[in-house]
Amino acid sequence: MADALWWVPSVIVLAIVVGVVVLVIALVRRRSRGRTAVLSAEAKERARAAAISLVRADDLVQSAGDELGFALAQFGERATREFADALVTSRRQLRDAFALQQKLDDAVPDSDDERRRWNEQIIVLADEANDRLHEQTRDFDSRRGAERDAPMKLDQLRRRLDRCDDRIAAGEATLARLALTYAAPALDSTRTNPARAKAALAEARVAADAATAALEAGGADPVGDDVRTAEQGLFTATRLLDAIESGEDQLHIGFSALGTALDDADAELAEARGLRDRHEESDASAQLGGVIAKAEVVVTGLRAPSRLSNPAVDLADLRVAMDGLDVIRSEARNRQLRLENARTALGGAIMAATSQIQVTRDFVTGNRGHVGAAARTRLAEAERQLALAEAEADPVAALDTARRAMTHATDADALARYEVH
């Protein structure tokens, strides 16, 4: 009986395997259907977006054609040339977009990739056409607003032109007053500003008068360009007159800075003169005196009562003179400091050398039969160097000589003690 059922386990295993395979296949198919559904939903959304963009662009192109006709009648062909070019370009893009839509709608089967790519191209073409025409219509809406506001703008503009006229007289008076204190080159940047401002205001008034005449005539000619020309002329004149006021401020600031710099220069010169007078080296004193004289010429010239100032140039000249003084003064100060330090150290160096020589001399004297010529020679050289140091007028040279005496005395002492022991 058991032998008759030998096949049962195999059947059970086979059934399990078949069940697992069926389950895997079902899961794969379900996942595939899910991805297909997602892709299908994305494709539908893309197609819907393309259709919306296409319809919106077609409507805008149609209305832009009407808008161009109105603009042409109001502003003329030259003013609307860019609008006309934009409309031609947008119409061409719209035709291309409709051609792609036709390929999507015809009976010829399309791949998913083709449908995706064509829908994206439709959206791009339609959006570019939309943006281009929106920009043009916004521009002409702005122009129409300017035309509507032209009477009010012209009234305000004329009042501002009158005020600017008054500022021209004030600017001329400012330049005349500054010319009493400052040299001509200091005023070069603003000297012609009043005349240039007058010219700009004259052009602005011509444009404003033309706009006013057109409005009073009641014609359809646009006046926005004339209003903008008048505003630009007013802006230019205002900027030129502002430059006179700011230039005056800068000159006064520079003049004040020059006064402070001259006071500082006086203090530096006084210090330099003191250093020159007490310096122990004649060549350093003479060199310092030369740069002091040059700096004094510059400072005296800048302080001349009748002199017209150019603060920027004057400050630069003073800086060059004082920089030269500072270099030589620093060198002279260092040299004097070196002398003073050497003089301070010299007394101690001579005392130490004298003491060491005496100690060595006493040792040699106490050991005459044992100390040879080498130690005695070094001791004699130490005594000679010490005598030179005491006779030297230059403290730096004297200090160096005293230190050499100390070295020779120390060497003599060491050699003598070595020979004795």
Task: Dump pLDDT digits (tens) for 30-87.
Answer: 554 544 444 467 777 888 888 787 788 777 777 767 666 665 655 556 666 776 777 7
The pLDDT value recorded for residue 24 is 61
Per the CB < 8 A criterion, the answer to whether 257 and 311 are in contact is: yes
**Which position has the token pair 């330090």?**
341
The pLDDT value recorded for residue 250 is 94
What would the pLDDT profile of 233-291 be if each residue is shown by its tens digit? Answer: 989 999 999 999 999 999 999 999 999 999 999 999 999 999 898 888 888 899 999 99
The pLDDT value recorded for residue 119 is 81
Report angle CA 201, 207, 213 to the nearest 5 degrees: 130
- Residue 12 pLDDT > 80: no
**Which position has the token pair 């050991």?**
367
- Residue 105 pLDDT > 70: yes
Burial of 344 (0-12, 13-18, 19+ CB in 10 A): exposed
Per the CB < 8 A criterion, the answer to whether 299 and 265 are in contact is: yes
Q: Which residues pair with 309 in a beta bridge?
A: 182
Tell me if residue 110 falls in helix, strand or coil: coil
Q: What percent of the chain has pLDDT over 70?
A: 81
The pLDDT value recorded for residue 36 is 42
Model confidence band, residue 188 (pLDDT cutoffs 50, 70, 90): very high
| Overall average pLDDT of the 192-209 stretch | 91
CA–CA separation, 116 and 114 (whole Å): 5
CA–CA separation, 388 and 378 (whole Å): 15
Q: Which residues pair with 182 in a beta bridge?
A: 309
Nearest partner of 160 among 111, 213, 231, judged by Cα? 231
Per the CB < 8 A criterion, the answer to whether 167 and 244 are in contact is: no
Tell me if residue 181 falls in helix, strand or coil: coil
Torsion of CA 372, 373, 378, 381, to 10 degrees: 140
Structure tokens at 58: 């077609």
CA–CA separation, 355 and 336 (whole Å): 29
Structure tokens at 234: 């007013």
Q: Write out the DSSP string of 45-95.
A: HHHHHHHHHHHHHHHHHHHHHHHHHHHHHHH-TTTTHHHHHHHHHHHHHHH
The pLDDT value recorded for residue 27 is 61
- Residue 177 pLDDT > 90: yes
Residues 6+ apart with CB under 8 A from 384: 405
- Residue 7 pLDDT > 80: no
Q: What percent of the chain has pLDDT over 90?
A: 40
Q: Structural domain boundaries of the chain?
A: 3-147, 170-331, 340-420
Q: Write out the DSSP string of 254-315.
A: HHHHHHHHHHHHHHHHHHHHHHHHH-S-HHHHHHHHHHHHHHHHHHHHHT-TTPPB-HHHHH
Residue type for position 293: A
Nearest partner of 136 among 49, 212, 210, 71, judged by Cα? 71
**DSSP annotation of 372:** -
* Most confident of the following: 103-107, 108-112, 368-372, 396-400: 396-400
Q: What's the mean per-residue pLDDT of the chain?
A: 82
Tell me if residue 190 falls in helix, strand or coil: coil
| Overall average pLDDT of the 105-130 stretch | 80
- Residue 343 pLDDT > 90: no
More confident residue, 55 or 13: 55
Q: Write out the DSSP string of 358-388.
A: HHHHHHHHHTTTT--HHHHHHHHHHHHHHHH
Inter-axis angle of helices 373-391 and 311-366, nearest 10 = 140
The pLDDT value recorded for residue 70 is 61
| Overall average pLDDT of the 371-387 stretch | 92
Neighbours of 232 (CB within 10 A): 14
Nearest partner of 94 among 54, 46, 131, judged by Cα? 54
The pLDDT value recorded for residue 186 is 93
The pLDDT value recorded for residue 34 is 45
The pLDDT value recorded for residue 39 is 42
More confident residue, 359 or 38: 359
The pLDDT value recorded for residue 403 is 93
CA–CA separation, 280 and 332 (whole Å): 10
**Which position has the token pair 């044992």?**
370
The pLDDT value recorded for residue 388 is 93
